[in-house]
Chain A
Amino acid sequence: MSNYLERGYLEREDLPPFPPEERLTSGKPVAYIECVQPIPCSPCYESCRFDAIQMDNINDPPKLDYEKCTGCMACIRVCPGLAIFMLQIKDGKGYVTIQYEFLPWLQKGDRVKLYNRKGEEVGEGTVTWALNPERNDRTQLVTIEMNKDLIYEVRAVRKR
């Protein structure tokens, strides 16, 4: 059994398989769910209209079918654990969409610092899309452009 609970963050071996390269570059973002512990929670499963998320019961960690995921972002809007990320590769650049709940709200064009799961700074990125927080009960969704190798690493941003 992995010891992610001792550390508070996931290591490579704890993570679900990455989406295939073709799916990442297909033109639509794909959800990536970092929710590995059995907890009684299912809003992602209930919000998915494409049956891309599988769960046997409410305590089962969600499993995502990358082929069925359309990148519609219904799940990332509702995830109470802020554990869903949308990933995409376009024109050699990486894009990660995350849930953001801090002030100041981010705007398109903002430069942000990028942090990995451990909270270490791993680079800088630019906000390419930011949902008005009022439109999602004040959980802003923001897409950050970054080096494409960083999309498996970056899980938090802070405005510089």
Chain B
Amino acid sequence: MRLESHPIVDFKRGKEVTIYFNGKPVKAYEGESVAAALYAAGVRVFSRSFRFHRPRGFFCAIGKCSQCMMEVNGVPNVRTCKIYVKDGMQIRTQNSIPDAENDALAIFDKIIDTVFPHGSHYKKFNRSAKLREFATKQMRKLAGFGNPPKSVPDVDAEYEIIETDVAVIGGGPGGMSAAIHAGKYGARVIVMDENPFLGGQLVKQTHRFFGSAKERAGTRGIKIAKILEEELLSYDNVEVRKETKVFGVYGNEVAAVEKDRKLLRVKAKKIVIATGAYERTLIFENNDLPGVYGAGGVQTLMNVYGIKPGERGLIIGSGNVGLILTYQLLQAGVDVAAIVEAMPRVGGYFVHAAKVRRLGVPIYTRHTIVRAVGNKRVEGAVVAQLDDRWQPVPGTEKKFDVDFICVAVGLSPAHELLYHVKAQMKFVPELGGLVPLRTKYNETSVEGIYVAGDVAGIEEATAAIMEGRIAGLHAAMSLGYGGEDVKKELEEAVKDIEAFRAGPFGERICHGLEKCTLEKEVSL
């Protein structure tokens, strides 16, 4: 399942180590996530759902869903896609007897499903508080929450206070760009990212980027990540903390935990939130089967770890992500049965569609997936045509024999931290969901809190870099750095992004932005 050769990426694997999955040894390589190593070893069922013990595989592979949670070295509910293998690591599946692959309790599924159909827990046993309490307790026992330790571990956490001008949360294209542009005018900057690497989702973008030469068009995303990182590290006043998870923003203080041990209390004058996005899912029968993955999850598995997701896949969604992923699967030697798109036309750039069409991948517009077929893992998919009211047309069902399905139906901003700071939020469908109101310099309704990248509205990496530039420049400028130069560059940056969004693809974004731009005039 591991790719030995790839046209674009060289996979540098670390030292070979052994981890234990439910007691059985599994070969892995240092630097791999636990989820990836298990996947490469053929493990598909990562967990069982709490209520009906449905088998679950991984979905997003970037720590944003909870499908791959397992017990790691005795600690329950660890997202195995975000924890990296170490020799002798003990991994166990939870809520299952004896393990998630063969769960004895799953035989009750049908009965439970009849007695407690989906949604019934909102209605049943609700009349009296006593009864509800009792019933909830019993259900909790049945469902379980893993095997938490019996006592609180007695560990002294280290505690570090950092004072800085700008704190950047997220080391993807938006965050790195913000840090670079604040740092280059002299502001002290700290960048925190939960991953052991910088670059965010760029690390799996093996394709060449669009845009203008100024935004490094024609360069591969993986290279852009490197270029940005090099520039970032060239500033002495910019500090980078990897494997650092920010869990709260309280006023102008950022709370984070570094390497799962050390607490950070970052006192910052300005904060840039660049936390990216979540992958969306789609509702269809059996959409929780192992083998139904987020498109980005498959990209991570394949382009970061060099692990083949399967032999033949089906792609749902013809936006740029779906189209690019299809091409990348072909490059890795994986078959793609078809791309299915509910809209009457391809959603992404036409040239991406042309690239996969000429390699023989059909694109079915006005079609949708009806169900995934399979018992413990995906064995096929049924697709049907849609009528003008977006209803499946009976008799048009087509079955594809595939062993995985990629859901590429868009992203939603990862906006939790914005609620901590009480930023004014608004639901803007054009931008992918709940987004913060912001000025044209990307400052939110809360003074000193900026946004950049997908958390401000779903676009793509080039736009994220441009937004990061604006946020970083404005943060530095309002702290008094840079003088006239920074003002000039800021105006130029705003012009650049306006030109970038001037085409038909930017029209939707501009519509969305109209709804959430704050008129708070900021003196330049």
**Chain A residues touching B, majority SS:** loop
State the interface size on chain B (CB cutoff 8 A): 47
Cross-chain contact A115 with B210 (CB below 8 angstroms): no
Closest to A140 in B: B7
CB neighbours of A47 from chain B (8 A): 213, 218
Closest to B351 in A: A81
Cross-chain contact B505 with A80 (CB below 8 angstroms): no
Stretch among B126-134, B275-283, B353-361, B375-383 lining the A interface:
B353-361
CB neighbours of B462 from chain A (8 A): 40
In the complex, B161 has a CB within 8 A of chain A = no
- Contact string against A for B residues 1-32, beta-carbon threshold 8 Å, 1 for contact and 0 otherwise: 00001111000000000000000000000000
Query: From residue B226, how far is it (CB to closest CB) to chain A in Å?
Result: 12
CB neighbours of A8 from chain B (8 A): 346, 350, 353-354, 356-357, 363
CB neighbours of A141 from chain B (8 A): none
Assembled-state Cα–Cα distance A35/B351 (Å):
7
Q: List B189-240 residues whose CB lies under 8 Å from chain A.
A: 207-213, 217-220, 223
In the complex, A59 has a CB within 8 A of chain B = yes
Cross-chain contact A5 with B346 (CB below 8 angstroms): yes
CB neighbours of A133 from chain B (8 A): 7
Cross-chain contact B218 with A78 (CB below 8 angstroms): yes
Assembled-state Cα–Cα distance A43/B356 (Å):
21
CB neighbours of B208 from chain A (8 A): 78-80, 137, 139
Contact A6 B355, CB 8 Å, known A42-B217, A46-B212, A58-B503: no
In the complex, A51 has a CB within 8 A of chain B = no
Cross-chain contact A102 with B360 (CB below 8 angstroms): no
Cross-chain contact A58 with B499 (CB below 8 angstroms): yes
Closest to B217 in A: A43
Query: From residue B320, how far is it (CB to closest CB) to chain A in Å?
Result: 10
Q: List B305-353 residues whose CB lies under 8 Å from chain A.
A: 330-331, 333, 344-346, 349-353
Assembled-state Cα–Cα distance A37/B34 (Å):
42
In the complex, B502 has a CB within 8 A of chain A = yes
In the complex, B395 has a CB within 8 A of chain A = no
Cross-chain contact A57 with B502 (CB below 8 angstroms): yes
Assembled-state Cα–Cα distance A143/B503 (Å):
34
CB neighbours of B164 from chain A (8 A): none
The 8 Å CB contact of A115, one of B7, B353, B359, B362, is: B359
In the complex, A131 has a CB within 8 A of chain B = no
Assembled-state Cα–Cα distance A155/B356 (Å):
11
Cross-chain contact A83 with B218 (CB below 8 angstroms): no
Cross-chain contact B212 with A39 (CB below 8 angstroms): no
Most chain B CB within 10 A, of A4, A6, A40, is at A40
Assembled-state Cα–Cα distance A7/B351 (Å):
12
Cross-chain contact B504 with A38 (CB below 8 angstroms): yes
In the complex, B365 has a CB within 8 A of chain A = yes
Contact A117 B5, CB 8 Å, known A59-B502, A102-B330: no
The 8 Å CB contact of A6, one of B344, B354, B501, is: B344
The 8 Å CB contact of A43, one of B5, B213, B352, B363, is: B213
- Contact string against A for B residues 43-57, beta-carbon threshold 8 Å, 1 for contact and 0 otherwise: 000000000000000
In the complex, A82 has a CB within 8 A of chain B = yes
In the complex, B506 has a CB within 8 A of chain A = yes
CB neighbours of A116 from chain B (8 A): 358
In the complex, B500 has a CB within 8 A of chain A = yes
Assembled-state Cα–Cα distance A37/B505 (Å):
10
The 8 Å CB contact of B210, one of A81, A138, A139, A156, is: A81
Cross-chain contact A43 with B354 (CB below 8 angstroms): no
CB neighbours of B362 from chain A (8 A): 119
Closest to B353 in A: A8
CB neighbours of B213 from chain A (8 A): 42-43, 46-47
Closest to B462 in A: A40
Cross-chain contact A9 with B212 (CB below 8 angstroms): no
Cross-chain contact A80 with B218 (CB below 8 angstroms): yes
Assembled-state Cα–Cα distance A156/B354 (Å):
10
Cross-chain contact A103 with B504 (CB below 8 angstroms): no
Cross-chain contact A118 with B357 (CB below 8 angstroms): yes
Query: From residue A87, how far is it (CB to closest CB) to chain B in Å?
Result: 16
Contact A83 B354, CB 8 Å, known A39-B503, A41-B210: yes
- Contact string against B for A residues 27-55, beta-carbon threshold 8 Å, 1 for contact and 0 otherwise: 00000001111111111001100000000
Cross-chain contact A79 with B358 (CB below 8 angstroms): no
Assembled-state Cα–Cα distance A9/B6 (Å):
27
Cross-chain contact A9 with B354 (CB below 8 angstroms): yes
Query: From residue B10, how far is it (CB to closest CB) to chain A in Å?
Result: 10
Most chain B CB within 10 A, of A39, A79, A155, A158, is at A39
Cross-chain contact B354 with A10 (CB below 8 angstroms): yes
Cross-chain contact A37 with B363 (CB below 8 angstroms): no
Closest to A34 in B: B354
Cross-chain contact A37 with B351 (CB below 8 angstroms): yes
Contact A102 B7, CB 8 Å, known A40-B211, A80-B217, A81-B352: yes
Assembled-state Cα–Cα distance A158/B361 (Å):
14
Query: From residue A29, how far is it (CB to closest CB) to chain B in Å?
Result: 20
Assembled-state Cα–Cα distance A83/B320 (Å):
15
Query: From residue A6, how far is it (CB to closest CB) to chain B in Å?
Result: 5
CB neighbours of B349 from chain A (8 A): 37, 39, 81
Query: From residue A83, how far is it (CB to closest CB) to chain B in Å?
Result: 5
B interface list, Cβ under 8 A from A = 5-8, 207-213, 217-220, 223, 330-331, 333, 344-346, 349-363, 365, 462, 499-506
30 CB-based A-B contacts, threshold 8 Å = A5-B346, A5-B353, A6-B344, A6-B346, A8-B346, A9-B358, A34-B354, A37-B349, A38-B503, A39-B210, A39-B503, A39-B505, A40-B211, A40-B500, A41-B210, A42-B212, A42-B217, A43-B217, A58-B500, A58-B502, A78-B208, A78-B217, A81-B349, A81-B351, A82-B355, A101-B8, A115-B359, A119-B357, A119-B358, A137-B220
Given contacts A9-B354, A58-B499, A82-B355, 4 further A-B contacts (CB under 8 A): A6-B345, A7-B363, A40-B462, A58-B502
A interface list, Cβ under 8 A from B = 3-10, 34-43, 46-47, 57-59, 78-83, 101-103, 105, 115-119, 133, 137-139, 155-156, 158
